[in-house]
Chain A
Amino acid sequence: MKGIGVSAGIAIGRAWVLRSKVRAGAVLPGDGVLPTDRVLPTDRVLPNDARPVEREIDLYRGAVEQAAASLERLMEQAGDAAEILGVQLELLYDPLWESEVIDRIRRRSPAREAVLGATEQVAGMFLEMEDAYMRERAADIRDMGNRLVRVLDGEAPDVSPGKGEWVVVAEELTPGDTIGLGDGVVGFVTQVGGATSHAAIVARLRGLPAVTGVSLGSVADGDSLVIDGETGVVLVNPSPAELEDYLFKQEAFSERRRLLATLKDREAVTLDGVRIELLANIGSAADMDVSLAQGAEGVGLLRTELLFMDRETLPTEEEQFQFYKRVLLRAAGRPVTIRTLDIGGDKPLPYLGLAPEANPFLGYRAIRICLEQPALFLTQLRAILRASIFGKCRIMFPMIGRVEELRQAKAFVALAQADLRAAGQPFDAAVPVGVMIEIPSAALTADVLAQEADFFSIGTNDLTQYVLAVDRMNEQIAGLYDPYHPAVLRLIREVIGQGHRQGIPVGMCGELAGDPQATELLLRMGLREFSMSAGSIPVVKEIILRSKTL
């Protein structure tokens, strides 16, 4: 069987099947979550001569107290995850939640059925929200429902498999489940939940392998299970040969993880003594912390689009300033390259009123928009410059295709500086201004651009699609998208060479920079600055340490 690996590593153990009292939501392939159709006996009512309503309400309140007490106990052992449980504790006493349950009891539903009904109702409300994060809050609600129903059924609010090596099998794992499971757990397999579900987050926090998207209806308690949290492979009752194979993989994985962890604070220096800079690509201030934990020496690409998306109006200069300042402060003096707004037909901002285009990747986007909309561009540049005094920042323009565009963009920087000077606001006048090399025309005129840019950063994703005329979003031609095509590699070598001849630094911030198969090749082409997703840094560093530049 094969699911989606959401937390890397190999787990080998016995199945421990967690049976949920409430029903999980169904997950569609991709990111869509659908509420399941409602067939629960939620409207079972008490006969008129049954236990009085007040008694059911007391039962319910007693269950809330017990569930809360068990949550508080869990929170003491939960460490980093305690805050997740704090959310649940608050929900248990939420007045809206309470009235959902009590109203049902007053309509003569027994406490247990009232909790089940309220759980379906409230979880359903979250499942209908458009934001993926909010849809996953339905799991918090079901977690609470589960805990309450277990108490009402006379069971302990939390369940744990006890000693041993157990792979927990569940339709869905809720945050409380995941935290309360204890030390006997070596991995998780669930049917529901994506990479951002609580179960996945907690699994990664605890360093336990996890696979989701697997239907394990046929697995029984005690079956032997192997799961691979990287490939998503799940084996039920594997053969001795398969088991042997995975024991070996498990050993290799732990060995590698130990090795990579020891590299975090080590400088990336090649065997022939060349110092290489390893930077992270980030989109938020929170990413900064994750990146530093992986050993990033700064940021080679700060995407600023997030700040502009999912909203009705442009962010103000002050909002942008606060964001850049926050990132620079967290970088604590390490270099941060801020890319100016990179949006267009494929990443539209409704409030900019951009018309749909037949060829958005060849259209009105990124710097092309900024140069036409001075107010938009100047606001961002002023915000970046104001933040520049809080760290070491560089400004990078995306989608530059000719030197005139670079000149215009630099003139805007000068204008923004003049504005700030006139307003008496401080900024760092020496902020380097560079070009993202991602259009073939820029790569082929790198010698000209290098005379007027302070640095280059090669964006290999767009460069590859433009050089090869292959739309990287089009699955039908996905096989043609190849950053190792000689045409792309020749251009990369050319850009690095031209930049260095003119004495400016050249980095790379596309996917290729984080691809361990490309590391040695890029070193030999002269690349000295690699920027990538933080998770790739240890792997690339390990290769650099045993490579030569010549």
Chain B
Amino acid sequence: MISKTYTILAPEGMHARPATAMVKLAKQFQSDIFLKYGEKSAKLNSLLAVLALGIKGGASIVVDIDGADEGGAATAFDTFFAANLKDW
């Protein structure tokens, strides 16, 4: 399993559009991918579950990736957060 920590830089937190893009990305991989925010956790195949976490601006989130293609998925998430997160 690979664990990655990212920071949500947008002061307004994780909005529906970036969350949608993130769920779409996760679905491209076979690995089980979970997002942890504080005590709470959501499987990244559900936009509803991600939104329900209510992730705030400036927060740290952890993405846990477990499965055959976890290496590729981890790289994809790094790229995704580097490219998109700064505007969110």
Which residues of A line the B interface, CB within 8 A? 83-84, 86-87, 90-91, 94-97, 122, 125-126, 129-131, 133-134, 137, 140, 283-286, 306-307, 309-311, 315, 319, 322-323, 326
Contact call B16/A322, Cβ cutoff below 8 A? no
Number of interface residues of B (CB under 8 A): 26
Q: Can you list 25 residue pairs at the A/B interface with Cβ under 8 Å?
A: A83-B17, A86-B17, A87-B16, A91-B47, A96-B49, A97-B46, A97-B48, A126-B51, A130-B54, A131-B13, A133-B12, A134-B54, A137-B16, A137-B51, A284-B10, A284-B12, A306-B57, A310-B11, A310-B57, A311-B56, A315-B58, A319-B9, A323-B9, A326-B9, A326-B87
Contact call A95/B16, Cβ cutoff below 8 A? no
Contact call A310/B54, Cβ cutoff below 8 A? no
Contact call B56/A310, Cβ cutoff below 8 A? yes
Q: In the complex, which residue of chain B has the Cβ closest to the Cβ of A329?
A: B86
| Residues of chain A within 8 A of B13, CB atoms compared | 131, 133, 310
Q: Given A83-B17, A95-B45, A140-B16, A322 and B51 touching (CB < 8 A)?
A: no
| Residues of chain B within 8 A of A91, CB atoms compared | 47-48
- The distance in angstroms between the C-alpha atoms of A130 and B56, with both chains bound, is 11
- The distance in angstroms between the C-alpha atoms of A97 and B48, with both chains bound, is 7
Of A87, A95, A323, the contact of B46 (CB 8 Å cutoff):
A95
Query: In the complex, which residues 1-50 of chain B have their Cβ closer than 8 Å to any Cβ of chain A?
Result: 7, 9-13, 15-17, 20, 23-24, 45-49
- The distance in angstroms between the C-alpha atoms of A122 and B52, with both chains bound, is 10
Query: In the complex, which residues 38-88 of chain B have their Cβ closer than 8 Å to any Cβ of chain A?
Result: 45-49, 51-52, 54, 56-59, 86-87
Distance in Å: Cβ of B25 to nearest Cβ of chain A: 12
- The distance in angstroms between the C-alpha atoms of A90 and B11, with both chains bound, is 24
Contact call B11/A134, Cβ cutoff below 8 A? no
Distance in Å: Cβ of B61 to nearest Cβ of chain A: 13
Distance in Å: Cβ of B83 to nearest Cβ of chain A: 13
Q: Which 8 A-B pairs have the closest CB atoms?
A: A306-B11, A311-B58, A96-B48, A87-B16, A96-B46, A94-B48, A90-B20, A90-B47
| Residues of chain B within 8 A of A87, CB atoms compared | 16-17, 20, 47
Distance in Å: Cβ of B16 to nearest Cβ of chain A: 5
Known: A91-B47, A306-B57, A315-B58. 4 other contacts (CB 8 A): A90-B23, A94-B46, A137-B51, A326-B87
* Residue among A84, A90, A311, A315 facing the most chain B CB atoms (10 A cut-off): A90
| Residues of chain A within 8 A of B12, CB atoms compared | 133, 284
Distance in Å: Cβ of A373 to nearest Cβ of chain B: 19
| Residues of chain B within 8 A of A285, CB atoms compared | 86-87
| Residues of chain B within 8 A of A323, CB atoms compared | 9
Distance in Å: Cβ of A476 to nearest Cβ of chain B: 33
Distance in Å: Cβ of B18 to nearest Cβ of chain A: 10
